[in-house]
Chains A and B, each alone.
Chain A
Amino acid sequence: MSGFATLAPPYSMPSASHGDVGVADSSAQARSRALNQFLSGIELKAFKIAQAGLRNEDDALDAVQDAMLQLARAYADRPAEEWKPLFYRILENRIRDMQRRRTVRGRVIAWLPFRGDEDDEEMDPIAQAPSEEPSPSHKLEIDEAMVALDTAIGTLPRRQQQVFMLRTLEGLDVAQTAVAMGCSEGSVKTHYFRALQALRAQLGSFRT
């Protein structure tokens, strides 16, 4: 009981917890604005990170969308400084779930004798499978270095891939990356070191 009582700071302004719709409204508007700003700042990076894990644009979009909604529903009340590692934690869980589901679906469909006779609108496991090759639109749009790096990142084990993207693209520090990945800071350092070693071995000193 006493723990519950300490949740509300004694100097706080009247909060929305007493059913005051007006105050709740303005508070929610402020949160909405802050969340909008936060999400607009990370959405492209989040998409890129999800795409690196899922190797499929639509799946990556779904993962980012789910992570955004989950953050809004469950953690919008948290301090804004906590949003980034929380968001990436949610996103990584979502990516992992989608990867597992895809693996299971692939196994099940591979065992089905009537596969290929189904409606063409059904999920195509081959189309959904990880691809080493970038899509044609990418080939037109991205330069050689990006293709090389993208391909090399795709060959990394998931945890190394994850730590590399979070640190290099999103710029999270070791502590934030550890929160996002749900592991210790020591593990983050180890995975990152191994990721760099593997990428350097594959790419050498690639030029931009």
Chain B
Amino acid sequence: MSAPSNSSDETLRREFEERSSVVLAESLTRIDSRIRSRLNQARQAAVAEVARSGKRPGFLRSFVLMPTAGAIAAAALVAMVLWQHPHSGSGAVGEGSAMTAEDLDLVADGEGLDLMEDLDGSFYEWAADQSEPGTETST
């Protein structure tokens, strides 16, 4: 029963799409010369970018990735050193690996760094006092 109205609506929808498409296409022809000129300049700049990258020798093009590769290598080196010498710090024996992993997590995690910046120093001094013998009842 509802098929004819669906079909009619579908037809109206298609007509609307076609008219919209025509209007939008027409609007492109009205874009003024200032805009066209700026778009042309932008295109030439983009094309020149490709031409420049092509003239750079292959081994030089790979230098573009050098900073990223360097950062990754440095991070890997630090991780390796920490992993190989887990007990070199002042932490208790047996806690080294866990501490190192936690330290690495903390360094790798940007939120962790944010958290460290937000530390309330006075609160932690108070907490340390609370854990020392004889100071539990000081407050």
- Residues on A close to B: CB < 8 A? 16-21, 24-25, 27-29, 31-32, 35-36, 39-40, 43-45, 47-48, 57, 61, 64-65, 68-69, 71-73, 76, 137, 141-143, 145-146, 149-150, 164-165, 168-169, 196, 199-200, 203, 205-208
Contacts and interface: CB of A to CB of B under 8 A. Distances in A.
B54 A29 contact: yes
Contacts of B26: 143, 146, 208
18 contacts: A19-B59, A25-B54, A28-B54, A29-B51, A36-B43, A39-B47, A43-B39, A44-B31, A48-B31, A68-B42, A76-B53, A137-B32, A141-B32, A146-B27, A149-B23, A169-B25, A208-B19, A208-B22
Contacts of B22: 208
Given A29-B51, A47-B31, A69-B49, A196 B43 contact: no
Contacts of A61: 35, 38-39, 42
Given A27-B54, A28-B54, A72 B23 contact: no
Given A47-B31, A168-B17, A196-B13, A28 B55 contact: yes
Please classify the interface of chain B as helix (H, G, I), strand (E, B), loop, or mixed, using the class held by over half of its residues: helix
A200 B50 CA distance: 43
B78 interface: no
Contact of B24 (A35, A169, A206): A169
Interface string B37-77: 01110110111111101111111000000000000000000
Contacts of B46: 35, 39, 65, 68-69, 71-72
B135 interface: no
B8 interface: no
Nearest to A206: B19
Interface of B: 12-13, 15-17, 19-28, 30-32, 35-36, 38-40, 42-43, 45-51, 53-59
| CB-CB nearest 9 A-B residue pairs | A28-B54, A65-B42, A68-B46, A72-B46, A19-B58, A72-B49, A43-B39, A169-B24, A39-B43
Contact of B16 (A25, A29, A199): A199
A39 B43 CA distance: 6
Chain B CB within 10 A, most for which of A32, A45, A207: A32
Given A43-B42, A44-B28, 9 more contacts: A16-B54, A16-B58, A31-B54, A32-B47, A43-B43, A72-B47, A168-B24, A169-B25, A200-B13
B16 A205 contact: yes
Nearest to A144: B23
B71 to A, nearest CB: 19
Given A25-B54, A64-B39, A205-B15, A48 B24 contact: yes
A28 B51 contact: yes
Contacts of A72: 46-47, 49-50
Given A24-B58, A28-B50, A31-B54, A48 B27 contact: yes
Contacts of A18: 58
Contacts of A27: 54
Nearest to B51: A32
A47 B21 contact: no
